[in-house]
Amino acid sequence: SNCKSKLAMITSNGNMCIYNWEFKLIHHRKAHETLGLPHLQWCPWDNQVIATCDNKSLKIWEVQEEDIMFIKEVEHHFPILNIKWIPSKKAIITADGNNKLVLWE
């Protein structure tokens, strides 16, 4: 996370893992069902929010003390290849397999 108190990762089979600063697993959740190249990124202005994506799905999550809460899902027309938060717009941008960038506000 941006406050450096948590580390997050997503495995190739869609499992999201959150570790504390001592590298102890504190949360584990299935984020995506499909196999592919999942991506994960912390929100730069909110240390509790994570974005994940896999094949054609972008998901937003809130990391709470006791669990990871699903907030929102957006379906994409083409496979998502990368995600990036845009702090100046308070939005996220995705790059897809059709060479298009999509801004989600």
Asked whether residue 83 is assigned to any structural domain, the reply reads yes
Asked whether residue 86 is assigned to any structural domain, the reply reads yes
- What's the mean pLDDT in 9-38? 83
Number of compact structural domains in the chain: 1
Residue range of the domain that includes 68:
6-104
pTM: 0.84
Between these two residues, 71 and 28, which has the higher pLDDT value? Answer: 71
Asked whether residue 18 is assigned to any structural domain, the reply reads yes
Q: What is the pLDDT of residue 27?
A: 84
Asked whether residue 1 is assigned to any structural domain, the reply reads no
| Residue 91: other Cβ atoms inside 10 A | 12
73 vs 45: CA distance, rounded Å: 20
Q: What is the pLDDT of residue 12?
A: 80
Q: What type of residue is 34?
A: T
Q: What is the pLDDT of residue 1?
A: 67
Q: What is the pLDDT of residue 51?
A: 94
pLDDT in tens, 35-59: 667 889 999 999 999 999 888 889 9
